[in-house]
Amino acid sequence: MTMAKPPAGRGAPADRDPLVAAFSGNGLVQPSATATDAVPATATGATRRAAVAATLRQHWLAVVLLAMGVVLRVLAQLAYRPALFYIDSVKYLYNSEGNDPEGYKAPLRAILFVANLNTVTAIQHLLGLAMAIVIYVLLLRRGASRWLAALAIAPVLLDAYQLQQEQTIMPTTWFEALIVAGLAVLLWRPDPGWRRVVAAGLVLGTSATVAQVGEALVLPAVTFVLVAGGGWRRSVGKAAALCVAFALPILAYSAGSALSGGPFGLSHQGVTSLYGRTAAAVDCATIRLTAAERAICPDPAAQAKGDDYLAFNPASPVQAIYRTLPRAEVDSTITSFNSSVLKQQPLRILDAYGRDVLKLFAVSRHTAAGDPPITRWQFAKSFPYFSPHATKQEVSAIVLQFGGGQPTVWRPVADFLHHYQLDGGYTPGPLLVLFTITGLAGSLVALARRRLDPRTRQLALGCLLCFGSAVFLLLVSDLFVFSWRYQIPALVTLVPGGVLGLGVVIDVLRKRPAAA
């Protein structure tokens, strides 16, 4: 009688893949007591070195990619010291208000309490490497092959936009790390138990305090728990537990905001953010508006400058009424304007939104008309001051307070990073198209096909969670404004989801001839 071979990552013996075994169970590989007692200490050390060498040979592609990622991160930290800054960096370093949650302040200030800005960027680069390692091991545990798992980590290791964010005092890297941690907790074992579901809910909920779009992650997480099975009562109970755990950090943050004199919520964002989308798409010549709404309907010249300009630039029509009218009246006017555009010209909104969603898949990275400049997220050849009004002395005052030395650029390395990023050092749009197709296919298999072998089912469920997280994150991000920075989390959601989906497609195609 022939015994079935257990799938990799799910019941496979420890000596089949030392890397997966090292992360299995309690994370320790327990050697046989008799074998250890019988072998001298020197021989044991040699055996361990041999095991490490064997692991490196097995996972040579991932090791090469990881080494390349390390080199790029060292170069980024040496090229721009002590860190890169952006307009929003100030609100995290000081107590200035902003339109986003400020959960990033917690790790940032904890690091700066004992170190300086150089350490902040070093830790963010380490988080980038750690995310790649976790994704690689996670995909192996779900049953993906080594070359597929290596394909999944190449973007997060080598994408220059990812590197630039890790070098910048901005929350993107921490947001990604929380996403990866939450997904890993849910997917680490084939059956997510109650404690793992609650822990994942807490981690994913915490991500929303760093970037508010993280609120969207509750939907794919709940869907995954329900589809994973285990009886409908148990599944519904675990889904409810995940929702409660997800809400706890958000409620705690909101309560803290209210106690400190702010609103009870994650951010100060109001109706202005949606105004950017509606004002950029509206046809003011044909829409019916009240006199107050007509006052904030932009002319074609203002519309051409895009969503971000219309929502936040001081010269925007909506910002002008903030200076002349009470806040309650302004909010009421903007809400009424948004409602009028959505009701009377919904197709214009959908057309603009759809075009923004498709920009992720562009062959090249560029700034489309009306978009925030992509140069904000590109390595410059000289030190990039975060605002035209920010002088060298003002930036020097920041680093003088928080440490790290005067802003300097190592020009040869900065030139290399600049050209690397602009000349193809990013995840190409056509590859993301492929991952979208395979991620959708794998998710449909998880939802529609119940009779799957254990390995294919684990691949499909992992695909469903990762791909679903990417879909909700990206679609919600693009609702208000398109920015290339908001597309970066696709590297840790869409790419792994697409790779898992590719594994599902390969498994299904291989088994169809056998079934026939």
Helix axis angle for 117-141 and 60-79, nearest 10°, is 160
Burial of 18 (0-12, 13-18, 19+ CB in 10 A): middle
- Strands, DSSP E only, in 245-376? none
Cis peptide before 82 (omega within 30 of 0): yes
Predicted confidence at residue 41, as pLDDT, reads: 52
SS3 for 424-478 is CCCCCHHHHHHHHHHHHHHHHHHHHCCCCCHHHHHHHHHHHHHHHHHHHHHHHHH
Identity at 213, one-letter amino acid code: V
457/451 Cα distance (integer angstroms): 8
pLDDT of residue 10: 41
What's residue 516's pLDDT?
56
Query: Cα dist. 305→99, 309, 367, 380 in Å?
Result: 20, 6, 12, 23
- For residue 121, report the phi and psi dihedrals to the nearest 5 degrees: -70, -35
Cross-strand pairs, 409: 80
Kindly tell me the burial class for residue 9, based on how many C-beta atoms sit within 10 Å of its own C-beta (0-12, 13-18, 19 or more). Answer: buried
pLDDT of residue 17: 60
Closest by Cα among 336, 306, 304 to 321: 336
Residue 94 has a CB neighbour count (10 Å cut-off) of 10
Return the pLDDT at 40.
53
Query: Which SS3 state, helix, strand or coil, does residue 408 take?
Result: strand
CA angle 6, 8, 10 (to 5 degrees): 70
Token output for 242: 């995940």
Q: Phi and psi of 409, rounded to 5°?
A: -130, 130
Q: What is the pLDDT of residue 271?
A: 65
Splitting the chain (516 residues) into consecutive groups of 10 residues, what average pLDDT does each group show? Answer: 44 48 45 43 75 88 97 97 88 77 93 95 98 97 94 97 96 97 95 94 96 95 91 92 97 89 74 86 94 91 90 86 82 92 96 95 90 92 71 77 89 96 96 97 89 89 97 94 94 97 92 65
State the greatest distance between any 2 C-alpha atoms of the chain, in Å, as a whole number. Answer: 90
Question: Which residues have a Cβ under 8 Å from the Cβ of 309 and sit 6 or more positions away?
Answer: 276, 302, 315, 316, 370
> Given the structure tokens 């060498």, which residue do they identify?
53
Spans of all domains in the chain: 59-265+420-515, 283-344
Backbone angles phi, psi at 278, to 5 degrees: -70, -40
Task: Give the sign of the dihedral formed by CA 206, CA 212, CA 214, CA 217.
Answer: positive
Give the pLDDT of residue 448: 86
Task: For residue 80, list its beta bridge partners.
Answer: 409
3-class DSSP state for residue 11? Answer: coil
Q: What's phi and psi for 386, nearest 5 deg?
A: -75, -5
Assigned token pair, 212? 């508010």
For 277, residues 6+ apart whose C-beta sits below 8 A from its C-beta are 307, 349, 352, 353, 479, 480, 481
| pLDDT number for residue 387 | 62
Q: How far apart are CA 52 and CA 147, in angstroms?
A: 19
Task: Report the alpha-carbon distance of residue 147 to residue 401 in Å, rounded.
Answer: 46
pTM: 0.89
Q: How many helices (H) and strands (E) does the chain have?
A: 25, 2
Residue 81, strand partner residues: 408
> Is residue 319 a contact partner of residue 313, using CB atoms and an 8 Å limit?
yes
* Alpha-carbon gap, residue 216 to 468, rounded angstroms: 10
Q: What are phi and psi of 80, to 5 degrees?
A: -125, 105
What is the token pair recorded at 74?
Answer: 């060292």
CA gap 362, 370 in Å, rounded: 16
Name which of 223, 249, 271 is nearest 463 in CA terms: 223
**What are the residues facing 168 on neighbouring strands?**
84
Burial of 448 (0-12, 13-18, 19+ CB in 10 A): exposed
- Pairing of the two strands 80-81 and 408-409: antiparallel
Q: Which of 262, 331, 215, 278 is nearest to 96 (CA)?
A: 262
Which amino acid is located at 447 in the chain? L
